[in-house]
Structure 1
Amino acid sequence: MMRKQSIKYTAVAAVIALSVTACKLPETVKRDENKNVPAAYNNGSTSDANSAKTKWKEYFTDPNLIALIDTALVNNQELNITLQEIRVAQNEIRARKGEYLPFADVKAGAGFDKVSRNTNIGALEHNIDIVPGKENPEPLQDYRLGISASWEADIWGKLHNAKKAAVQRYLSSVEGRNFMVTNLISEIADTYYELLALDNQLAIVQQNISIQNNALEIVKLQKESARVTELAVRRFQAQVLHTQAMQYGIQQQIVEAENHINYLVGRFPQKVVRSSEPLVDMVPNAVQAGIPAQLLENRPDVKQAELDLAASKLDVKVAKARFYPSLGISTGVGYQAFNPSYLVKPESLIYSLAGDLAAPLVNRNAIKAAYYTANARQIQAVYDYERTILNAYIEVANQMAKIDNMQKTYDLKAQQVNALNESVDISNNLFRSARADYMEVLLTQRDALESKFDLVEAKMQQMSAMVQIYRALGGGWN
């Protein structure tokens, strides 16, 4: 009677202890994410037409650029590294799923045991015959064959939430890959248009070298006729040398731009096949920005941050569940005998079934720390999500302003180039008729060269804005 009461009191005490450990949870800071964005961009448009929905092969029409992007999507090393990270995340789901399924093992073993006869077990084995009338073998052999299984009952959803968190992180890695594709396409396109701009600038320099050499020959003839001095000849010669030096700097930039593209497409340095169309004749695509709310579904980095946030919330639930009791069930069935020939006999059958309920009671610092860490990372994920949305909106706003401003810049630069081209012709005619000195000719030629460079630069910035607004809106990965 006393023994039964003792067992009863022990069980009650265990239940009370488990209840206490489950109820006293540490307090943490909570913060909900803010998904609110402005109703429209600065232009005030509320149309939902969005260029991000355009396929990248329809947005970029240059066949040479399309070929480069296609190659990069297969060969780019960083993209392929990300694909392996996706596979790692996928395997993590499989691992988490396996944790809440039963574990089963097949076991077989053999051994022997020699026990001293001067012990209670040894004396018992010596005085009791396993086989009547036959002395027990010494040492006593032991053969085992059976199946065992164990399972943790996921009462509080700890294991299922861990699996759900792994799923969210897998989806996040997929969005991370999509974001990398978007950035890769924009970087190749940006560098491609930069390369075309450098080609145009090199052609302008070479054209100016030819013009300046002709001017130098005229000045030399005028010096022979005593119309100008040696100083004029030297100044014109210096201008030619300066322009000739410029072409090598541009050629170096071309090499670097080509090799940057080669790196992005995953190949060793080689000539990049590109369009021969003058960059200034290219017309940027008309872009439709839609409404800011569309960034939440179009931008892969925003979706990635949202999935990371969802995973961090599940991590908090997992960490919280560690404070609660866990129920484990184990079972086994098999055969055990001192002689292999006895393993198939019914008398050799063994089986077991056990359950245990356990919860942390004393020194819970480790699970407290894990709980606080999971909560802090959730708050961190909230801020990261909000920051990603804010950054996406600002990027679109910046590129929309750039498109507008660079169009105005290009128009003015085109007028400046026309004016300076006429000035060059006028200054040359005045110089031939001795109505202008050589410095006016040199300064006018320099200004005309710089203005042509600026015009090409303005067009390149226009094309870059067309590329970057597409990336900022979330286009390119689909």
Structure 2
Amino acid sequence: MLSKRLYQCLGAATLAVAAAACKLPQVATLTQNRSTPAAYANAPAPADSANSARQPWRQFFTDPHLTALIDSALLHNQELNITRQEIDIARNEAQVRKGEYLPFVGLGVRAEAERPGRYTLRGATEEAIDVKPGVRTPDPLANYQLGAFASWEVDIWHRLRNARQAALRRYLASVEGKNFTTTNLVAEIANSYYELLALDNQLAIVRQNIGIQTNALEIVRLQKASARVTELAVQRFEAQVQNTTSRQFDIQQRITETENRLNFLLGRYPQPIVRDAAGLSNLLPPAVQAGLPVQLLQNRPDVRQAELEVQAAGLDVRVARAAFYPALRLSGGAGFEAFRPGLVFSAPESILYSIGGDLAAPLVNRNAIKAVYGSANARQNQAVLNYERTLRNAYVEVANQLANIANLQSSYAAKTREVAALTESVNISTSLFGSARADYTEVLFTQRDAIEARFDVVEIRMQQLQAGVQAYRALGGGWR
């Protein structure tokens, strides 16, 4: 009676411990918010589904020199090629997880020889028993084995299956990461190319003004010779010429650095960049259709990457949770085994086989499993927060660029009118100065204002082109 009660108590305790092993700690888990505003706050037109992000970059960029640069960069850019290797790594990781889900089967050959001590249980047994009637046990006893052996963890709680799905999500996320790198690369090349065209045009403006100012300096020197102006006027005009000349070298340095930056993006050493500098004035800012904010969920590679990371992190939580439950493992083997090579394939005496299984659950020292589970939940929360931050950042980038496009368009129109007025002012002031009806300072100030205004026109045109590129990138275009 006492023995029966003892067994009952042990059985109840075993069930209680098993139930405690399956009890999970409570953790707080966030859920990502995928909602977006109905429209962009600074959209120039009523919201509709037309979206420039769907347009391939070859159609968005029309300059043949620029498209040739982008083509070269997509093949040779080191950062993009590094992301391609990351895709291969993620693909291999997914294959590894898939392999863990399947049984492990191996074929092995083994040979050994062993001589136990005669004064041991095993040695005394071998001494007393013949391996075959009339055949004494060899000393030492050899053993030859050939067979196939397998082991398999039965995926009761989908631990291995979820780990495989998480690796697959991360592989897809790495593909989106490559797309996002491509988008940024295309935008950076286009921005640098337009900057290079603007610098070429500014350099042409400077050189033209150097010629104009040099001619004005010669006129002032002639006027000084005829005592119409003083040496002060000559020195002021001389200083203006030197100032413009100095600016020319500054622009040349910026051109060199921009060319080198483009060559670096193209994955090559510095060399001349083929371009049509005069074509800047013919390039019109591309018409950008913003579409609806909800389309960012599909068009932005970084948003899709963040969403896949959330899914992978959620699967990691399931994997960590499965560690609290019992695990079932099966093992088995079949083959031949004998103490002499000639007897290895003697059937049925040399045939061996085995099969077994074990079911085990963690009962003691579960703190490590709890910590892993808690970390998995924390990483999932991180992924959710990163997703929401990425989505909001995408919306803000688009809204900023839409406002920038509208403001630059108004600024370009005003600055163009300013250049026309200042150009006429330069002609008037030069004519008045030649007839001694205007002071030389008026000529200098008017020339300075005119060159600054022409510089600003080129700068704004470049900013308009770059704003179109940035809006295209912010919408998720450039990787198709």
Counterpart Cα distance in 1 of 2:121 and 2:323: 44
In the alignment, is residue 412 of structure 1 matched against residue 414 of structure 2?
yes
In the alignment, is residue 448 of structure 1 matched against residue 447 of structure 2?
no
Give a deviation string over 1:350-370, Cα, whole Å, max 9, x none: 111111011111111211111
Counterpart Cα distance in 2 of 1:403 and 1:125: 93
Counterpart Cα distance in 2 of 1:73 and 1:307: 24
The alignment partner of 1:466 has SS state of helix
Q: Residue 18 of structure 1 contacts residue 358 of structure 1 at CA under 8 Å; is this kept in 2?
A: no
1:37 aligns to what?
A: 36
1:354 aligns to what?
A: 356
Give a deviation string over 1:98-138, Cα, whole Å, max 9, x none: 11110111121111121222222222211222232333221
Give the 5 Å matches for 1:412-431: 412-431=414-433
In the alignment, is residue 308 of structure 1 matched against residue 309 of structure 2?
yes
In the alignment, is residue 291 of structure 1 matched against residue 292 of structure 2?
yes
The alignment partner of 1:341 has SS state of helix
Counterpart Cα distance in 2 of 1:151 and 1:9: 34
Point out the more displaced range, 328-337 or 396-405: 328-337
Counterpart Cα distance in 1 of 2:343 and 2:15: 44
Give a deviation string over 1:22-65, Cα, whole Å, max 9, x none: 1x211111211111111011236221111111111111000000
Q: Residue 201 of structure 2 contacts residue 277 of structure 2 at CA under 8 Å; is this kept in 1?
A: no
Tell me: CA distance 1:442–1:278, structure 2 relative to 1, closer, same or farther (3 Å): farther
Deviation at 1:261? 0.6
Deviation at 1:8? 9.4
Deviation at 1:6? 9.2
Q: Residue 201 of structure 2 contacts residue 278 of structure 2 at CA under 8 Å; is this kept in 1?
A: no
Deviation at 1:279? 2.1
The alignment partner of 1:109 has SS state of strand
1:116 aligns to what?
A: 117
Q: Residue 296 of structure 2 contacts residue 394 of structure 2 at CA under 8 Å; is this kept in 1?
A: yes
Point out the more displaced range, 272-281 or 462-471: 272-281
TM-score of the two chains, using structure 1 as the length reference? 0.97
* 2:117 partner letter: S
Q: How large is the RMSD of aligned CA atoms in angstroms?
A: 1.9
* 1:222 partner letter: Q
Q: Residue 200 of structure 1 contacts residue 278 of structure 1 at CA under 8 Å; is this kept in 2?
A: no
Tell me: CA distance 1:161–1:4, structure 2 relative to 1, closer, same or farther (3 Å): farther
The alignment partner of 1:347 has SS state of coil
Deviation at 1:201? 0.2
Give the 5 Å matches for 1:74-113: 74-113=75-114
Give the 5 Å matches for 1:247-262: 247-262=248-263
Point out the more displaced range, 465-474 or 345-354: 345-354
Tell me: CA distance 1:218–1:406, structure 2 relative to 1, closer, same or farther (3 Å): same
* 2:230 partner letter: T
Give the 5 Å matches for 1:368-447: 368-447=370-449
1:185 aligns to what?
A: 186
The alignment partner of 2:349 has SS state of helix
* 1:36 partner letter: S
In the alignment, is residue 162 of structure 1 matched against residue 163 of structure 2?
yes
The alignment partner of 2:419 has SS state of helix
1:136 aligns to what?
A: 137
1:49 aligns to what?
A: 50
Counterpart Cα distance in 2 of 1:2 and 1:316: 45
Counterpart Cα distance in 1 of 2:5 and 2:103: 35
Deviation at 1:348? 1.3
Q: Residue 115 of structure 2 contacts residue 141 of structure 2 at CA under 8 Å; is this kept in 1?
A: yes
Q: Residue 321 of structure 2 contacts residue 373 of structure 2 at CA under 8 Å; is this kept in 1?
A: yes
Give the 5 Å matches for 1:329-368: 329-345=330-346, 346-368=348-370
1:461 aligns to what?
A: 463
1:233 aligns to what?
A: 234
Counterpart Cα distance in 2 of 1:429 and 1:25: 91
Deviation at 1:275? 1.6
The alignment partner of 2:277 has SS state of coil
In the alignment, is residue 19 of structure 1 matched against residue 47 of structure 2?
no
TM-score of the two chains, using structure 2 as the length reference? 0.96
Tell me: CA distance 1:91–1:421, structure 2 relative to 1, closer, same or farther (3 Å): same
Deviation at 1:7? 9.1
Counterpart Cα distance in 2 of 1:440 and 1:73: 53
Deviation at 1:430? 1.0
Counterpart Cα distance in 1 of 2:414 and 2:39: 30
- Name the % identity: 58
The alignment partner of 1:277 has SS state of helix
Counterpart Cα distance in 2 of 1:282 and 1:124: 97
Counterpart Cα distance in 2 of 1:11 and 1:61: 79
Point out the more displaced range, 44-53 or 410-419: 44-53
